[in-house]
Amino acid sequence: MEKLYVLDASGYLYSSYFAIRNMTNAKGESTNALFGFVRSVMKIKKDHNVTHIVAVFDGPNNTKGRKALYPEYKAHRQSMPEDLRYQITRAKEICSLLGIAWLDVPEVEADDTMGSIAEWGKNNDLHVYLCSGDKDLCQLVDEHVSILNANKDHKLIGAKEVEETYGIPPKLMIDYLSLVGDASDNVPGLASFGPKTAVKYLLEFGSLDALLANPQRVTEKKKREIVEQQADIALLSRKLVTIATDVPFPQDRDFFTIKPCDFEPLRAFYKDMNFKSLLKELEQEAYTKGHNEQEYKAMPGDIATKYMLVDDLESLKALIEVLSIEKCISFDLKTTDIHPMKAELVGVGFGYKPGEAWYVPFNGSLGAERVLRELKPIFENPALSFYGYNVKYNLHVLEAYGISIANICCDIVVAAYLLHSENRQNSLDALAMQFFDKEKLSIDALLGKGKSAILLREAAIDKICHYSCEDVDYTCRLKLLFEKEIADRNLAPLLYDLELPLLRVLAEMEQKGIFVDVRSLELIGFELKEQIAALKLKIFDFAGEEFNLNSPKQLGEIFQKLGIKSTKKTASGQMRTDSDVLESLSSKYPIAGLLLEYRVLEKLRSTYVESLPAEVNSKTHRIHCTFNQSVAATGRLSCQTPNLQNIPVRTAAGRKIREAFRPALEGWSFLAADYSQIELRLLAHFSEDPNLVEAFKNNQDVHAHTSSVLFDCPLSDVSKDMRQQAKAVNFGIIYGQQAFGLSQALGIDVKSASQFIDMYFERYARVKIFIEISKERARLTGKTVTLIGRERAISDILSKNIPLRSAAERLAVNTPLQGTAADMIKMAMIEISKQLKSHNLKSRMILQIHDELIFEAPDEELPQLQALVKEAMENVVELKVPLLVDIAIGNNWEQC
């Protein structure tokens, strides 16, 4: 039996629109929904060897029929975003280019067209696959109609799966939906009839008609009354959820037969939409199939490669001789663990030019000890420099084997990040594919996946040799490519004078780690469990029943039962229950405030109290987190395994967790050094606003100063509330906050918030000029630049999508401030590290939390350390306003 695939094009486009963000073409037009749609179509074509297919779109004025029955049908739906509308038009265009038929029947929803095609298909010896995530389509499922669930990685759903999921066979789905309703379409259903209740009565009565005809048989009084009183609502709902099967469409198999893609226009379309990955795949496919081979020269061929296994002493000596005369060497370690503090060496690869590489196994005939002895002088030779991918990781691993690399000349991931900080795909495999169209041997291909996977040291040495040499080879190629662009874009000082020196500083911090009192965490855990248990009881008391507090769906049902309403809904029409919503409801509904408190405590318990002890290294008894210098697009460092930058300080429980972090030795303390209001000082520097500059030069409380300027009163008359309002405005300006956001922050109406902002810009006129110049510069150049030259692409600054463009404008203003602050503290870290060594101090830098540095120091060194740190941080750059660093000393982190 032939197969017909019917795509819910409207569904794919809507889900892609909300799932994929920040995609635009050169004209600033959004392409996110379109890209997701094409990817979904290509996956179905590839996975199922499709011969017959059609994409079905909602027709114009498609709710007319059901709205005539029920005016509230889909009434709560927001109007279609403007930048989605033109993507739908382009989706139809791309269907034609791909050789796929498409339909958008006027005044008909996509579901009804799909239902009609399914009915025709099964009556004409076709097995129909409805490609959608819409549960309404389950009513169509039978032996000839199945669903490929778009929301479950195209899981195949037949009659058996429908019954397993909903508890009823497909033939009862219409009745089921009539009872439970559909929040996404605003179909009413029967009050208080949830899925369990609906299934119970449908299985008992056999159908909706039987239930409505025999309400006296319903034993529960409230349910019986609802069935008696709302029978007309159930029947109306049934009409609304029933999918039509009589919509006119071309009933001809040839219409659905997939046609050859229109290569030239398709290629031009992908280029216009900036779909680079799809373009590469199309050109590769065209070359593979020999399509238009005369017009297109062969795909760029790889240069000849020579990958060599070094597994005897003579070969190793020869390799060392070759390497010892090179100035810059590419290297790659193969290890047993992604965490450097746990990793053991399996082998090492070397190279110095494209196409040629060597691999030296540690588990080969020479043995690890001999290999290490021979290679140590090479790594530690001050005349040689090394580069690789994620060099910091390699430093840790080699350090564990008593080897210190003398010189580092590049790190590929850091260079890639400096050139394209917005790029989230910076793995070596991704970079090789992006810049050389090279699909490298993957780790899964080398080791296998799942239960059949083997350990790296168990893999055949010749296969590891190819895997490692390929990494070395493409690291070398990428360096040659990147170092030219680094020079052309004047980013060399940023790479060689800041990021590479910082790499060693971060490695030292990670090596030292931080001590945490595990016993203290256990006691905090006991307290949190008691508090959480008490909160649960209070919440259940308000709710009138127990439910899963971590289930948004169940929480939404509880709120509905309690009559708690919010205008914010999910894409499916359910009430949102995230923190912002709960915060807005907490003043009116105590249960919302209790839920917020529960979430805070539960996150502290699960994320920190229970997880941190597992991160303590069994050998050092300290936590060794990893600092990433190639993640945050602003230039800020991020932290992982674990993330110690996010431990909260504003709650009592969060402060208790910080108390558990303390020096491991008696007679030692923590010292915290924090830049004071660094981003506001940078705003004063960049804008040169006389009012702001004067406040900082006179060492005034800048928030009180802003308040006195805004309210035109002496500093002495500024109240606590006035200062708080000014503080919200100051920081709101930095982050591009508009009147609505400020009104939420201050708890005032939007009009008053708007007046605050207008007044601010009237008093601080040059700040307004700085903001507008920053936006215009980003529009002209497509990027922002920090004080020392770090670049960040602002790709959506010309977007036709207003929310995306507004977010890009905020980035254009904030990134120079936040990015410059990130650069400054990095520069300070390098200088402090030098000073600690030159003064031969035992004090150690152990943490960086954005604008703050944490040190562990012997008490007798604290005065010297304090002066040293303050001097370095406050004089790292010269601004038009003074830099100020606040110092705090304590027996634990919380005291700082």
Report percent pLDDT > 90 for the chain. Answer: 68
Out of 2-6, 27-31, 490-494, 882-886, least confident range? 27-31
Query: How many CB atoms within 10 Å of residue 654?
Result: 19
Look at 764 and 862; give whichever has higher pLDDT: 862
Q: What angle do CA 188, 191, 193 make, to 5 degrees?
A: 100
Look at 742 and 458; give whichever has higher pLDDT: 458
Instruction: Judge whether 457 and 346 are in contact, CB under 8 Å.
Output: yes
Look at 707 and 515; give whichever has higher pLDDT: 515
The pLDDT of residue 643 is: 93
Out of 78-82, 110-114, 460-464, least confident range? 78-82
What element of type H or E holds 409?
strand 408-411
CA–CA separation, 831 and 213 (whole Å): 84
The pLDDT of residue 249 is: 95
Mean pLDDT of 599-628: 94
The pLDDT of residue 303 is: 76
CA–CA separation, 439 and 426 (whole Å): 14
* CATH 3.30.420.10 domain extents, the chain: 306-483
| Identity of the residue numbered 130 | L
Residue 773 has pLDDT above 90, yes or no: yes
* CATH 3.40.50.1010 domain extents, the chain: 2-255
- Categorize the per-residue pLDDT at 287 as very low, low, confident or very high, splitting at 50, 70 and 90: low
Tokens of residue 848, six digits:
């960086």
* CATH 1.10.150.20 domain extents, the chain: 679-820
Fold of 2-255: Rossmann fold (3.40.50)
For domain 306-483, give the CATH number. Answer: 3.30.420.10
pLDDT, tens only, 240-273: 999 999 999 999 999 999 998 878 899 889 988 9
Instruction: Judge whether 6 and 245 are in contact, CB under 8 Å.
Output: no
Give me the helix-helix angle, 765-781 and 750-763, nearest 10°.
90
Judged on CB neighbours under 10 Å (0-12, 13-18, 19+), 383 is: exposed
The pLDDT of residue 355 is: 94
pLDDT, tens only, 686-704: 999 999 999 999 998 888 8
Backbone phi and psi for residue 349, each to the nearest 5 degrees, phi listed first: -110, 150
Mean pLDDT of 791-816: 89
- Categorize the per-residue pLDDT at 292 as very low, low, confident or very high, splitting at 50, 70 and 90: very low
CA–CA separation, 312 and 315 (whole Å): 6
Q: Where are the alpha helices (DSSP H) in 439-589?
A: 443-447, 461-488, 492, 500-512, 518-543, 552-562, 579-585
The pLDDT of residue 750 is: 87
Please tell me the CATH superfamily of domain 679-820, with its number.
Answer: 5' to 3' exonuclease, C-terminal subdomain (1.10.150.20)
- Categorize the per-residue pLDDT at 289 as very low, low, confident or very high, splitting at 50, 70 and 90: low
Nearest to 773 by CA among 747, 809, 723: 809
Residue 593 has pLDDT above 70, yes or no: yes
Q: What residues contact 213, with CB distance under 8 A and at least 6 apart?
A: none
The pLDDT of residue 372 is: 95
Mean pLDDT of 470-480: 96
> Which value, to the nearest 10 degrees, does the dihedral of the CA atoms of residues 598, 599, 602, 608 take?
-140
Average pLDDT, the chain: 91
For domain 517-615, give the CATH number. Answer: 1.20.1060.10
Measured between alpha carbons, how far apart are the two ends of the chain, in Å? 73
Instruction: Judge whether 820 and 832 are in contact, CB under 8 Å.
Output: no
- Per the listing, tokens 């303590």 go with 616
The pLDDT of residue 569 is: 65
- Categorize the per-residue pLDDT at 297 as very low, low, confident or very high, splitting at 50, 70 and 90: very low
pLDDT, tens only, 527-576: 999 999 999 999 999 999 999 998 888 898 898 888 887 766 665 556 77
The pLDDT of residue 152 is: 63
pLDDT, tens only, 487-505: 999 999 999 999 999 999 9
pLDDT, tens only, 812-863: 999 999 999 999 999 999 999 999 999 999 999 999 999 999 999 999 999 9
Q: What angle do CA 675, 677, 683 make, to 5 degrees?
A: 120
Nearest to 390 by CA among 623, 630, 615, 624: 630
Judged on CB neighbours under 10 Å (0-12, 13-18, 19+), 289 is: exposed
